[in-house]
């Protein structure tokens, strides 16, 4: 029982069923895919493969907190035009990945992702992460980089800058089970630059259901040190949202530019923290250019 409280879990069987209904409805909006599971040292990781043309290194997507694979519905069609895309549900978060052992620190976080890549038979991949997924990608590149060709980050939290206090306090309203739906939607809309966060929007409904029905039991990510960021020898493309409320764009971009040895850092002035949905086509074009450059070196 003590161990169970230290792993991510649904609040009850009925909570799992309610989330699954929202998840399945959102997955129906995605292109045809293959479902895969990979055993890791901390549980089983669910992944989905969207087959693209050619034999270039595939791209692995890492979603934001409480978001899981369906959050990429607007991105996958354009991303898979030139490459195979593999989306992972983060271990210890709401989704189809199942955590069965506690994740204690950043090294553990890197280990489960590296284990998953190995279990999926992936030897060289480009990681693309948004928000906490960006932190997860960077963390793996710092601790276990042998399978990673490059990292692309979309407004990554706790990577180049801390989360502002206002955002921390607002985010706390997402997780208690008794928070009114209307209040949770207001917070999600604020984080997303004022976008509609009602349940009619599948991605918003997914995040809201995850926050309500699932308990995350992992430690909060720690901001990377200067030395850790300097140690990243692989190429990094960082797209920072100019209207982000989850980080200070000026601080994050300046720190990334000064510390990343092979970093390409851009501030997209009109983007919010929901940058992946706001600029799906533009991100696909910029990321494909970056990945082609990396593969050519």
pLDDT score, position 2: 42
User: What average pLDDT does range 249-278 have in this prediction?
Assistant: 97
135, 221 Cβ separation under 8 angstroms: yes
pLDDT score, position 196: 64
Average pLDDT, the chain: 92
* C-alpha R_g of the chain: 18
pLDDT score, position 198: 58
Q: Confirm whether pTM is higher than 0.75.
A: yes
pLDDT score, position 211: 87
CA–CA dist 4, 210 (Å, integer)? 18
Q: Indicate the pLDDT class of residue 197, thresholds 50, 70 and 90.
A: low
Q: Residue 248 is encoded by which pair of tokens?
A: 């200070």
3-state SS assignment for residue 88: strand
CA 253 to chain centre: 19
Among 84-98, 209-223, 257-271, the range scoring the smallest mean pLDDT is 209-223
60, 127 Cβ separation under 8 angstroms: yes
pLDDT score, position 257: 98
Q: Which CATH number fits domain 4-163+216-296: 3.90.1710.10, 3.40.50.300, 3.60.21.10, 3.40.50.1820?
A: 3.40.50.1820
pLDDT score, position 278: 94
Q: Does the pLDDT value for residue 1 go beyond 50?
A: no
Q: Does the pLDDT value for residue 37 go beyond 60?
A: yes
Q: Indicate the pLDDT class of residue 87, thresholds 50, 70 and 90.
A: very high
Q: Does the pLDDT value for residue 175 go beyond 90?
A: no
More confident residue, 250 or 173: 250
CA–CA dist 63, 69 (Å, integer)? 6
Q: Does the pLDDT value for residue 187 go beyond 70?
A: yes
CA–CA dist 66, 121 (Å, integer)? 26
Residue 287 backbone dihedrals phi, psi, to 5 degrees? -70, -40
Q: In Å, what is the CA distance from 17 to each residue of 24, 27, 206? A: 10, 15, 13
| Cα 249–Cα 253–Cα 255 angle in degrees, nearest 5 | 120
């Amino acid at each position: 029982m003590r161990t169970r409280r230290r792993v991510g879990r649904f609040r009850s069987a009925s909570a799992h069923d309610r989330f699954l209904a929202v998840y399945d409805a959102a997955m129906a909006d995605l292109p045809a895919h293959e479902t895969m599971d990979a055993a890791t040292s901390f549980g089983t990781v669910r992944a989905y493969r969207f087959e693209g043309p050619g034999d270039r290194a595939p791209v692995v997507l890492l979603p934001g907190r409480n978001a899981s694979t369906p959050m990429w519905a607007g991105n996958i069609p354009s991303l898979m035009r030139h490459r195979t895309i593999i989306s992972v549900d983060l271990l210890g978060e709401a989704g189809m990945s199942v955590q069965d052992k506690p994740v204690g620190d950043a090294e553990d976080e890197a280990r489960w992702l590296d284990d998953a890549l190995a279990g999926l038979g992936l030897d060289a991949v480009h990681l693309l992460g948004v928000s906490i997924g960006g932190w997860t990608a960077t963390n793996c590149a710092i601790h276990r980089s042998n399978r990673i060709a490059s990292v692309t980050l979309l407004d990554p939290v706790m990577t180049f800058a801390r989360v502002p206090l206002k955002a921390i306090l607002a985010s706390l309203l997402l997780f208690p089970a008794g928070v009114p739906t209307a209040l949770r939607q207001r917070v999600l809309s604020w984080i997303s630059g004022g976008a509609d966060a009602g349940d009619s929007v599948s991605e918003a409904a997914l995040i809201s259901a995850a926050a309500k029905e699932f308990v995350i039991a992992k430690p909060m990510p720690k901001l990377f040190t200067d030395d850790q960021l300097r140690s990243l020898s692989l190429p990094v493309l960082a797209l920072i949202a100019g209207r982000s409320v989850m980080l200070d764009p000026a601080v994050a971009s300046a720190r990334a530019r000064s510390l990343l040895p092979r970093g390409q850092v851009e501030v997209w002035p009109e983007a919010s923290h929901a940058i992946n949905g706001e600029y799906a086509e533009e991100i696909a074009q910029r990321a494909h250019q970056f990945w082609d450059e990396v593969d050519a070196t």
